[in-house]
Amino acid sequence: MKNRATNRSRTREQITVDRLMENLYIEIKVDIFSRLPFESLLQCRRVCKTWRALLHDLSFAHMLLQHRRLPHFNDYEYHNYSNPVASKMGFLLLGMSSMERLNQLYYGEYDENDEQSFKKLTKINHPPLDMCHSIVGSCNGLVCFSVRHHYVIEDPVYICNPITREYVNLPRFNISIDGKRYLNGRMVSGFGYYPSTNEYKVVRIYYSRDQPFVGRVQVYTLGGTKFLRSRWRNKLKITYILGDRIDLSPGILANGALHWLDEEGMIVAFDLADEEFRVLPLPPCYSPYVSFKLHVLGGCLALVHQRNDKSTEIWTLKKKKKKSRTSYEMKEQDCHSWSWNREFSSAVEIINRWKQPFTITKSGEIVLWYHLHFPERIKSLARYDPKTANLEKLGDLDKVLNYSEARSHINSFVSLKALGEDAKILESTDELD
């Protein structure tokens, strides 16, 4: 009897040890996989069901993102320059080829550690999109598109992960104003991620033609509690006139908030944590008679100042104290922990509506999406060095795309289903599994 009890005890101990070793092996595998180039991960998914399940696990998707953050100046993102994978900058192109009248998705990379810094574009495994689709934003591999309906409304209602091929269609805009259903007006939108709660939020703000000075705000949350998921929530009305009738640029995601310029030149931020709007302080260069444009560079909110003499300044909003929060506080006194810094000034017009900056490299160069129509048609990725004032074209895309828009993008295995959405799977187009 004593021997049997001893054997059972040893068996239980062995099972415990085996489970611990199995968990250890999984952690090692996850760590190794997360450091591989994404092309290798796509091939690993085909090896066996065990590897495929592991690569689609939530913990792996999170770890993979930590290794693929874009270069950032502050601590809000988790970029590590010692990691060769993180030195790559991915971008997404929505473009129409010269042979077709439908948009296709393409993925490209810029790697400053590689002599051939611009990698060839890869056509993404996604069905063609019509001309009514525009990119609202890209967060952790999820891409939000607006879909034009009734000719004027750019409604952010389509979200997908091009790698997992999961997608979801959100309810279209349909709101009652004074007992009537209105769709005649304009809409601005944004797509953001709040890491503290692992929530993705789509924000849309509608201005009716009859009430053009009142914005009706709705928020859709992916992830988080069940109460907030899978429905549009009506928020407060605002009197900020975000964007204008010509420029419906989506909100810029930085510091846990979405940002727009309003018609009076103020910078208005929508905090993804408390879902409140607030006005940010303006940089010293502000003038209502000069051209400004918001971007995100190095993880910071950036304001591009186009002077009357065609020179260019770039200002970034950074926190003063390292221990302060990386998102905006509700208290007015906490605004003083943030300040505008002039990154550089150029005597030439390097950034305008045809030259959109992606990021600032660790060597201080600016990577641009270069799109000109006159005096010659040019579509290219370019690199600008403020020290030498040299603008270098990295890759010519004229032969590939007739029209295109570009966004920074990170490939990932983030699952819409895991976020609580009733996601469907796109049909394969036999391009990239």
Look at the chain and count its residues.
Answer: 433
Give mean pLDDT, residues 279-288: 79
Q: What is the pLDDT of residue 126?
A: 81
Q: Are 359 and 368 in contact (CB under 8 A)?
A: no
Q: What is the pLDDT of residue 350?
A: 56
Q: Which residue has the higher pLDDT, 19 or 159?
A: 159
pLDDT band at 376 (very low <50, low <70, confident <90, very high): low
Give mean pLDDT, residues 43-60: 74
Q: Which residue has the higher pLDDT, 408 or 32?
A: 408
Q: What is the pLDDT of residue 185?
A: 82
Q: Which two tokens stand for residue 234?
A: 């009506």
CA–CA gap between residue 198 and residue 222 (Å, rounded): 9
Burial of 307 from C-beta contacts in 10 A (0-12 / 13-18 / 19+): middle
Q: What is the pLDDT of residue 77?
A: 37
Q: What percent of the chain has pLDDT over 70?
A: 66
CA–CA gap between residue 250 and residue 273 (Å, rounded): 19
Q: What is the pTM of this model?
A: 0.83
Q: What is the pLDDT of residue 80?
A: 37
Q: What is the pLDDT of residue 119?
A: 67
Q: What is the pLDDT of residue 219?
A: 96
Q: What is the pLDDT of residue 239?
A: 92
Report the sign of the C-alpha dihedral through residues 132, 142, 293, 215, in that order.
Answer: positive
Residue among 326, 167, 190, 327 nearest 251 (CA): 190
Question: Average pLDDT over the chain, rounded to whole?
Answer: 75
- Tens of pLDDT, residue by residue over 215-250, are 999 999 998 776 566 689 999 899 999 976 556 689
Is the peptide bond prior to 357 cis by the omega test (within 30 degrees of 0)? Answer: no
Q: Are 173 and 204 in contact (CB under 8 A)?
A: yes
Q: What is the pLDDT of residue 177?
A: 61
Residue among 117, 72, 93 nearest 402 (CA): 93
- Tens of pLDDT, residue by residue over 59-113, are 777 777 776 664 443 333 333 334 445 567 788 888 776 666 778 888 888 777 6
**Domains of the chain, CATH where assigned:** 15-78 (no CATH), 88-320+336-419 (2.120.10.80)
In terms of average pLDDT, the best of 86-95, 192-201, 338-347 is 192-201
Q: What is the pLDDT of residue 70?
A: 47
Give mean pLDDT, residues 9-16: 56
Question: Who's near 416: CB < 8 A, 6+ residues apart?
Answer: 142, 159, 160, 161, 164, 166, 167, 168, 222, 423
Range from 140-154, 213-227, 303-317 carrying the lowest mean pLDDT? 303-317
Residue among 227, 223, 291, 225 nearest 261 (CA): 291
Per residue, what are the HEC states of the chain?
CHHHHHHHHHHHHHHHHHHHHHHHHHHHHHHHHHCCCHHHHHHHCCCCHHHHHHHCCHHHHHHHHHCCCCCCCCCCCCCCCCCHHHHEEEEEEEEECCCCCCEEEEEEEEECCCCCCECCCEECCCCCECCCEEEEEEECCEEEEEEEECCCEEEEEEEEECCCCEEEECCCCCEEECCEEECCEEEEEEEEEECCCCEEEEEEEEEECCCCCCEEEEEEEECCCCCCECCEEEEEEECCCECCCCCCCCCEEECCEEEEEECCCCEEEEECCCCCEEEECCCCCCCCCCEEEEEEECCEEEEEEECCCCCEEEEEEEECCCCCCCCCCCCHHHHHHEEEEEEEEECCCCCECCEEEEEECCCCCEEEEEEECCCCCEEEEEEEECCCCEEEEEEECCCCCCEEEEEECCCCCCCCCCCCCCCEECCCCCCCC
Distance of CA 165 to the CA centre of its chain: 17
CA–CA gap between residue 268 and residue 277 (Å, rounded): 7
Q: What is the pLDDT of residue 430?
A: 47
Q: What is the pLDDT of residue 348?
A: 60
Neighbouring C-beta atoms of residue 344, cutoff 10 Å? 15
Q: Is residue 147 predicted with pLDDT exceeding 60?
A: yes
Q: Which residue has the higher pLDDT, 328 or 33?
A: 33
Q: What is the pLDDT of residue 125?
A: 78
- Tens of pLDDT, residue by residue over 390-414, are 878 777 665 566 667 778 888 888 9
Residue among 3, 16, 54, 260 nearest 137 (CA): 260
Q: Is residue 1 predicted with pLDDT exceeding 60?
A: no
